[in-house]
Structure 1
Amino acid sequence: MEIISFPTPGLGDTSYLLVHEGLGVLVDPQRDIDRFLAEAARRDVDLRFVLETHLHNDYVSGGEQAALRAGAELVLPAAAAPAYRHTPAFHLEDIKGEAGLSLRPIHTPGHTPEHTSYLVLIDGEPQAVFSGGSLLVAAAGRPDLLGPERAGTLAKLQHGSLHRLADLPPEVTLLPTHGAGSFCTTTGALRTTSTIGDERETNPLLAIAGADEFAERLMAAPAPIPAFYRYMGPANTIGVPPMPPTASPILTPSDLDDLPADTAVVDMRPRAVASRGFLPGSTLIELADDFGSWTGWLTSRGLPLALVAEVDQDVTEAVTQLAQIGVDTVAGVITDPGAAATASFALLELDDFAQSLSDPDSQLLDVRMPSEHDAVAVPGAVWRFLPDLFTDGIPAELDPAKPVHIACGSGRRALIAASLLHRNGFTPAVLTGAGIPHLATALEGAK
């Protein structure tokens, strides 16, 4: 038996292809299914099953389309009851394959009510478990993504599910879908795979004996929930269409006049380029692993998008990331903004940024996550988490007549915030290459 991992770093998720004597099992595939099917073809694998552990909250699934393309059997938790053809997985009712391969569904509610893990058996011997969003490496799947009303009940169910999986033999390999970088986890797991034995010894959540205490721990400091999550579960229930084309038409700035007035312009160029000249009103989100997540979180759902990119940037990657969360509205890409790029603001390295704060008119805006702000803060800074700037507005404490210095952890989120403030008449400057913790140390040392 061999297991091939397919990470999607920007979403903090991993899909898997299990191969046993020429037979294949695909688990929790993302929407861009060509990478999975190509690997199966390269290995001459007969893909027999596509498994879904739950109706995903963080991405739209490629499970249905992968099964249709490969002629495989699509398996979902029985309680998921999606609107498309599938085989329902019932608790402890084995799904028989060939060559001694069996898949044993284990109902593990908590992350979602229907959540089901799959124990892999070869000749009756447990080998690995695909745990989806249940037992994770040093963590557990969040119980609050379906709303606060259900979070308490789901958290208590998650307690039982984790211990159900922990009762498996210690040598069983643990293969969760969610991991480092995912907003579906309760803590920041640093690895993506483990064993049941290792988790028994090291997972702090398994040391909590009572379901009530466990639930309180999970819900004590909930992380933000990306705005696009609310669309993922419903999409995965009714069915997700195939991937859209990843090739995008080339646009000029004047072509924006022919697009709907509510078209969002997202500039994905490197910060050093974009900050020197960008189209007024655009949002600056550098292309990186989490480009799709930030774009889906900060732009309005269903509206057309126009991208601005360098000629040599991977626009296909950007469009793929957007499609993974169901954003199929890219109208085209501008690779030469030219003279229309009249907006700009300053990027400052740490020393210059700290020095500029000595100006009595300077203002400091911190746009990090709540947990980051709780860990380290700069006295006198105005704090508002980046997505809240877009939904709740710019803090009233900030004076548009005075410069606003913006910082986060490295400059990536501060860049996005600066483009929003510029659009609203402010004069921003961004700390680049460093973040609030570095700034706090520098300012303390300068006293």
Structure 2
Amino acid sequence: MEIVSFRTSGLGDQTYLLTHEGKGVLVDPQRDIDRFLRAAAERDVELRLVVETHLHNDYVSGGEQAALRTGAELVLPAAAAPAYPHTPAFHLEDIEGGDGLSLRPIHTPGHTPEHTSYLVLIEGEPVAVFSGGSLLVASAGRPDLLGTARARTLARLQHRSLRRLAALPPEVGLFPTHGEGSFCSASGAGRYTSTIGEEIRSNPLLAVEDAEHLADELLAAPMRIPAFYQYMGPANTLGVPPMPSTAAPELAIGDLPQDARVVDVRPRERQADGFLPGSIGIELGDDFGSWAGWLLPYRSPIVLVAEPGQDAAEAVTQLARIGIDTVRGVVRDLGPAATATFERLDLVTFTVRAAQPGAQVLDVRMPNERTVAHLEGAAERFLADLVTEGVPAELDRDHPVLVACGSGRRAAIAATLLIREGYIPAVLDGAGVPDVAAELRARRAA
């Protein structure tokens, strides 16, 4: 048996291909299924089963299309009830994969009500479990993604589900879908796979004996929920069309559609030197799609601005993974239209300016980050809230606004939003708020 992992860092998720005696099982596939089917073909594997652990909240699934493309049997939790043909997975009713391979569904509600894990049996012996968004490495799946009204009930159910999985033999391998970098995880984790025994020894949530106490733990400091999540569950229930082409037509600056949102994916140092007024800058990286889905009206028409030779197809792919198929084209040359600029400051320069009387500082990190490292005197507005709530009222358009986050990436995005509202931003680049706070303390001590 082999389990091949496909990690999608920007979403913090993993898809798995299990192979055994020439037969394959695909678990929680994302929409861009060619990479999974190519891996199966390279191993000369016949895909027998495509299984989903739950109706995903963070991406649109490629499960239905993978099954249609290969003729594999599509398996979803019995309570998911999607609007397309599938085999319902009932608790403890084994599903045969052929040649001694079978999957045993284990109902593990908590992340979602229908959530189901799959225990892998080889010749009747348990060897691995695909735990989706239930038991994670050093963590567990969030119970609050379906709204606050259901969060506590789901958190209590998660307690029972974690114990159900912890009762498996300690040598069973643990293969969760969510992990570090996923907004579906209750906390970060440095590893992506584990064993049941290792989690019993080290996962702090398995040490919480009482369901109410676990609910308190999981809901004590909830992370923000990306705006595009609200569209993922319904899409996965109704069915997701095939992956679109990732080729974006080349456009001249004078050919921009009137209704398009312009998204600049160039490196942020290039954006700082000059970008199109009114556009939003989201440097192309692993999490580009997540930030675009969070900050832009969902499925609004999009035109990308990219460097000559930059991989615009990667941006299109990341958007398609969350159901955004509205890229109208890509502009490679802004010419004289790139008139908006912002400053990029190193740590020392930023700190010197921030220490001056009357300095305006804006912290765009998440609330839970601010509890760990606080920047005294800074206005606080999480990046996504700049779109929904606007710029903090105490900031003055006539004076520069020093913007900081954890590394400079979100601060640069914020700078393009501030310029659109008439502010003059300067960005801390290559360092973060904790560095500024430490530098300010050192200066005061000196």
Classify the TM-score, shorter chain.
Answer: over 0.9
Residue matched to 2:440: 443
Shift of 1:443: 1.2
The aligned residue for residue 94 of structure 2 is 94
For residues 375 and 446 of structure 1, the distance between their equivalents in structure 2, rounded to whole angstroms, comes to: 21
Instruction: Report the aligned-residue RMSD.
Output: 0.7
Map 1:388-399 to 2 at 5 A. Answer: 388-399=385-396
How far apart are the structure 1 equivalents of 2:341 and 2:359? 18
Unaligned runs of 5+ in 2: none
CA deviations over 1:321-372 (Å, ceiling 9, x no partner): 0000001100111110111101101111111111222443420000001111
Provide the C-alpha distance between the structure 2 equivalents of 1:123 and 1:375, rounded to a whole number of angstroms: 49
Q: In 1, distance between residues paired with 2:97 and 2:193?
A: 24
Per the TM alignment, residue 377 of structure 1 is displaced from its structure 2 partner at its CA by 1.2
* Residue identity opposite 2:233 in structure 1: G
Aligned to 1:186: 186
Q: Does 2:264 align with 1:267?
A: yes
Gaps of 5+ in 1: none
Letter in 1 for 2:248: S
Instruction: Output aligned runs, 1:229-268, within 5 Å.
Output: 229-256=229-256, 259-261=257-259, 263-268=260-265
The range that moved more, 246-255 or 23-32, is 246-255
Q: Kindly report which structure 2 residues correspond to 1:41-440, keeping only aligned pairs within 5 A, or say none.
A: 41-256=41-256, 259-261=257-259, 263-440=260-437
Following the alignment from structure 1 to structure 2, what is the Cα–Cα distance between the partners of residues 330 and 357?
A: 39
Return the offset for 1:442: 1.1
Q: What amino acid maps onto 1:53 in structure 2?
A: T
Find the aligned partners of 1:117 and 1:358 in 2 and give their Cα distance: 53
Shift of the alpha carbon at 1:253?
1.4
C-alpha displacement at 1:260, in angstroms? 3.3
SS at match of 1:275: helix
**Amino acid of the structure 1 residue aligned with 2:416:** S
Q: What is the CA-CA distance between 1:284 and the residue it aligns to?
A: 0.7
Task: State the Cα deviation string for residues 47-82 of structure 1 (Å, max 9, x = none).
Answer: 000000000000000000001101100000010000
Three-state SS of the structure 1 residue aligned to 2:273 is: coil
Write out per-residue CA displacement over residues 16-54 of structure 1, whole angstroms, 9 at most, x where no aligned residue.
000001000000000000000001011110000000000
Partner of 1:189: helix, strand, or coil? Answer: coil
Counterpart amino acid of 2:45? V
The CA distance in 2 between the partners of 1:356 and 1:271, in whole Å, is 21
Aligned partner of 1:431: which letter?
A: L
Mapped partners of 1:105, 1:435: distance in 2: 44
Q: Is 1:260–1:304's contact at 8 Å kept on the other side of the alignment?
A: no
**Aligned partners of 2:338, 2:135: CA distance in 1, in Å?**
48
Answer yes or no: is the 8 Å Cα contact 2:355–2:440 preserved in 1: no
Q: Secondary structure at the match of 2:181?
A: coil
1:303 and 1:170 mapped to 2: Cα distance? 48
Quote the offset at 1:154 in angstroms: 0.5
> 1:446 Cα deviation (Å)?
1.5
1: distance between equivalents of 2:147 and 2:163?
24
State whether residues 9 and 181 of structure 1, in contact with CA within 8 Å, keep that contact through their aligned partners in structure 2: yes
8 Å CA contact 1:361–1:403 kept in 2: the answer is no
| Contact kept? 2:405, 2:432, Cα under 8 Å | yes
CA contact (8 A) 2:263 2:303 kept: yes
**How many residues were matched structurally?**
444
Residue 15 (1) aligns with residue 12 (2): no
Q: Report the secondary structure of 1:272's partner residue.
A: helix
- Residue 445 of structure 1 and its aligned partner are, at CA, apart by 1.4
TM-score scaled by length of structure 2: 0.99
Shift of 1:444: 1.3
Q: Distance in 2 between matches of 1:317 and 1:368?
A: 26
Compute the displacement of 1:162 (Å): 0.3
Q: Which amino acid aligns with 1:381?
A: A
Give the superposition deviation at 1:311: 1.1
Cα deviation, 1:72-126, whole Å, max 9, x if unaligned, reads 0000001000000100000000001211101000000000000000000000000
Q: In the aligned structure 1, how far is the partner of 2:352 from the partner of 2:204?
A: 43
Q: How far did residue 417 of structure 1 move?
A: 0.6
SS of 2:344 mapped into structure 1: strand
The amino acid that maps onto 2:58 is: D
Alpha-carbon separation, structure 2, partners of 1:347 and 1:260: 31
Answer with 426-435 or 347-356: which moved more.
347-356
Amino acid at match of 1:79: A
Deviation at 1:379, TM superposition (A): 1.0
Q: Distance in 2 between matches of 1:373 and 1:358?
A: 19
In 2, Cα distance between equivalents of 1:101 and 1:358? 64
Task: Tell me how far apart the structure 1 counterparts of residues 69 and 190 of structure 2 sit (CA, whole Å).
Answer: 34
